Structure 1
Amino acid sequence: MTRDLRLVAISLFFWGLGEATWYYFEPLYMQQLGADPIRIGVIIGLSSLAMTLTHLPAGALADRFGRRSILIAGWLSGVAAAGIMYLARSLTVFAVGLVLYGFTGFVISPLNSYITNARREWSVARALTTIGAAYSLGAIFGPALGGWFAERIELRSVFGLATVIFAISTAVIVFAAPQPVEKREEDLHYRDLFSNTALSRFLPLVFVSIFAMYLSWPLTPIFLQNERQMSVSQIGLFGAFNGVGLVLLNLGLGRLESRRGLILAQVFVAVSIVLIWQGPGAPWFAAGYLLAGAFRTAHSMLVAQAEGLVHRANLGLAYGAVETASGAVIVLAAPIAGALYGIRPTLPFPAGLLLIVLALVLTLKLSPGVLTRAAGSPVPMAISDLRRE
């Protein structure tokens, strides 16, 4: 692992720790501030919309002007957003902070580009999932820490704790070295990217896969608290299991051929939905949270597959396109999940399962093929071969 990848991994460890102190409790705090399930879904959707709108511009700017400065801007914005959420005393101000946090998602495409260019002999999938595992390792400890603060101080305190941890993460990322900007053989605009047939056929797979896996997730903490009588500290513990799953599944599935890894990740998410929906008690819910870690692994696999579909000078823009499709899903899925929950609290779970079946079919048909050498470098199949990722 290179020096810069180590710095990114350390920084993401702290970011995962900080984000996980509040991520699993975010719907509970909004409920405490007076929001019903539908409003919670709408607010989460607005945050995701803010994230979605930034991916393509940020990816393009990173390709043209360099990645490091955009990374630092994203980290600093995250610190500010967490501070606003901590200081908020009303749902409206909290929603402003959460939407601002969504805007900081512009860092994702440049971050993926930075990792891809710093990986040396590693495959793209291995680099993204291994560095993602550092974030996930931090996320193991965050929920328990956040739950402890929430029960012994107040739920709001987790956002203040996150602000401090985010600041530490930011202090690490500033030491990452800048990367040279890829020279373009010719000027490439948005229209040129989207005239790429392979990428255009790939994006619907991203949309359906993420939608299917995410639909049951936004209101799961409320479901467990209101319908299964789980406490805040128990939900925090489940979040720790989710972090363990993120690490194990990223490291395990990240070494597989990416189409196979994506399929297995989708299956694991389906099993997690069944365990949380039908499980008779806390051990089953914990197992469900652990397997739900495959969602982020599947996302990394989808991002990695875009790398072989475009010119390297447009890597950030291509990653931005994938993240835009992914973010658009959450914009739609969160309020839909709230509406389904309002009809019947269990309804998002079978709906998600049915959509995962569709996603698996599309994965077999649309996922562009990428083989992995034993040594770890990617061997892309012909771009026209779209049977898989």
Structure 2
Amino acid sequence: MRGTMLRLSIGMLFNEGAIGLYNTLWPLYLASLGASPPQIGLVISLSGLARMVFLLPSTMLATRVPPRRLIVAMRGLAALGLLGCGIAQHWWHVLLPLVLVSVGVLAFPALSNLLAGLGGDAAERTRIFTIVYTVAPSFAYVITPAISGMIGQTFGLRWTLIGAGILTACAALTFATVPAPTSPVAPGSATGYRIALAHPGVRWVSALMLITLTVLQLGLILAPNYLQDVHSVPVEWIGWFGSAAAVGSVVLSIAISRVRALQAPFTALMVSVGLVAAGMVLLLIGHSLASFVVAYVLRGGFLVAWSVFYAAYGEVTPEHLRPPAFALAEIIGSASSTLAPYAAGWLYIIHPRTPIVAALGAIVPLCWGIVAIKQKLAQAPAPEPVAHDERTLIP
């Protein structure tokens, strides 16, 4: 298992490093291509919608295509899409390449199912998901956003997309080295989304994930534009802020992986959401670069909050329902990325601070909902444990 974890972590290091290279400055790149705030929100929302559509058949594909082949092929297409975005001349030119980027998410339900099988109990699954989905990516995020700021300031923002395409290709090649399993999944073993959603734990976690990620992204997605438009922060510094967020993710992820009291998924979620909320407050009231650095360090809780939901699915979902449940998690992440940017774009027209204020207003009832759902799920019977064997490796 250790060798598999190492390969997966390195693959995620490349993959999320690519995201870190362009994601922080993505709204600014779209603005440089002539997009208005609503158009920026529209492009990001359409990307999320495309990911959601492509994820619908992911459970079926998991039983018909060997996961390693699926992961490598999909991340390869994503690499081509990022390169296509990098050569766009107008904002609407990115729409077709974004289709390739979006189809690349088909790689991740299989990866999540693998990780759930590597852990025996809830705390161990939280630790594994945190290491692969948060610690490894966050180390890449520490470096790549700062590099992207320097690249964007010196050579132009489009080169951040080209570099991201190269790193994504490296991730695909790394995932190709993961060992094959001793016994592949039998065809026809797929379980539908409807059956998965019939499970109360899956329903509650799914609803909470959609609301949480939508609220947090509403306040964060246009923060780079806010900093540039309201506080005239240079592109290079915004790149450094992205690295500061990664530092926050790393520190919080290590704390969760080492402190047993924080390893319960809903406890880690409450801590993460609280830190993001504090970062939003600092964005609103801060005026100095130092205050914005601290705000972005606290923003690092967003990546942790997202990854914690996979551990929550692993805790509440019976083993036979995990493939569709993890596919649902990817669909929900895409749905939140569809709803939040579009709403943020229109709220931004009212005032650049409005998306952040709206998100903060929604976080208060959100925290109450997290506590209520945690208590409700605590009363439900636990799903059967996962057998810990080497058949969970990617074929």
TM-score of the two chains, using structure 1 as the length reference: 0.90
TM-superposed CA distance for 1:100, in Å, is 2.8
Residue of structure 1 in register with 2:388 after alignment? none
Q: Secondary structure at the match of 2:57?
A: helix
TM-superposed CA distance for 1:381, in Å, is 6.3
Q: Which moved more, 1:66-75 or 1:280-289?
A: 66-75
Identity fraction in percent: 24
Residue of structure 1 in register with 2:243 after alignment? 240
Match of 2:158 among 152, 156, 159: 156
TM-superposed CA distance for 1:66, in Å, is 4.2
TM-superposed CA distance for 1:369, in Å, is 7.7
Cα distance between partner residues in 2 of 1:367 and 1:81: 39
How many pairs does the alignment contain?
Answer: 376
In 2 relative to 1, CA 194–312 (structure 1 residues): closer, same or farther, beyond 3 Å? same
Q: Secondary structure at the match of 1:24?
A: coil
Residue of structure 2 in register with 1:312 after alignment? 319
Q: Which moved more, 1:200-209 or 1:290-299?
A: 200-209
Residue of structure 1 in register with 2:31 after alignment? 31
Match of 2:202 among 199, 205, 209: 199
Residues 354-369 of structure 1: pairs in structure 2 closer than 5 A: 354-367=361-374
Residue of structure 2 in register with 1:68 after alignment? 68
Q: Quick check: 2:191–2:324 contact (8 Å CA) kept in 1?
A: no
Cα distance between partner residues in 1 of 2:14 and 2:313: 27
TM-superposed CA distance for 1:190, in Å, is 3.2
Does 1:349 find its partner at 2:350?
no
Q: Quick check: 1:63–1:181 contact (8 Å CA) kept in 2?
A: no
Does 1:276 find its partner at 2:286?
no
TM-superposed CA distance for 1:54, in Å, is 2.6
Q: Which moved more, 1:113-122 or 1:141-150?
A: 113-122
Residue of structure 2 in register with 1:124 after alignment? 125
1:17-47 deviation per Cα after TM superposition (whole angstroms, max 9, x unaligned) = 2221111111111111110000000100000
Match of 2:176 among 154, 174, 177: 174
1:151-209 deviation per Cα after TM superposition (whole angstroms, max 9, x unaligned) = 22121111122222222222211101234445699773333222222322332211111
Cα distance between partner residues in 1 of 2:155 and 2:269: 41
Q: Quick check: 1:254–1:297 contact (8 Å CA) kept in 2?
A: no
In 2 relative to 1, CA 187–60 (structure 1 residues): closer, same or farther, beyond 3 Å? closer
Cα distance between partner residues in 1 of 2:380 and 2:130: 21
In 2 relative to 1, CA 341–362 (structure 1 residues): closer, same or farther, beyond 3 Å? same
Cα distance between partner residues in 2 of 1:88 and 1:251: 39
One-letter amino acid of the structure 2 residue matched with residue 25 of structure 1: L
Q: Which moved more, 1:64-73 or 1:321-330?
A: 64-73
Does 1:215 find its partner at 2:218?
yes
Cα distance between partner residues in 2 of 1:119 and 1:168: 27
Q: Which runs of 5+ in 2 are unaligned?
A: 384-395
TM-superposed CA distance for 1:12, in Å, is 1.2
Q: Quick check: 1:11–1:172 contact (8 Å CA) kept in 2?
A: yes
Cα distance between partner residues in 2 of 1:112 and 1:190: 16
Residue of structure 2 in register with 1:377 after alignment? none
Q: Quick check: 1:149–1:155 contact (8 Å CA) kept in 2?
A: yes
Match of 1:293 among 272, 297, 300: 300
Q: Quick check: 1:2–1:119 contact (8 Å CA) kept in 2?
A: no
The two structures, once aligned, show a CA RMSD in angstroms of 2.3
1:293-343 deviation per Cα after TM superposition (whole angstroms, max 9, x unaligned) = 111111111121112333323312101112222321221111100110001
TM-superposed CA distance for 1:368, in Å, is 6.8
Match of 2:252 among 245, 249, 254: 249
Cα distance between partner residues in 1 of 2:376 and 2:115: 21
TM-score of the two chains, using structure 2 as the length reference: 0.89
Match of 2:139 among 137, 140, 154: 137
Does 1:264 find its partner at 2:271?
yes
Does 1:48 find its partner at 2:48?
yes
Cα distance between partner residues in 1 of 2:346 and 2:187: 46
Q: Secondary structure at the match of 1:280?
A: coil
Q: Secondary structure at the match of 1:175?
A: coil
Q: Quick check: 1:5–1:118 contact (8 Å CA) kept in 2?
A: no
Q: Which moved more, 1:45-54 or 1:101-110?
A: 101-110
Residue of structure 2 in register with 1:95 after alignment? 95
Residues 6-21 of structure 1: pairs in structure 2 closer than 5 A: 6-21=6-21
Q: Which runs of 5+ in 1 are unaligned?
A: 372-379, 385-389
Q: Secondary structure at the match of 1:227?
A: helix
Residue of structure 2 in register with 1:382 after alignment? 381
Cα distance between partner residues in 1 of 2:375 and 2:265: 9
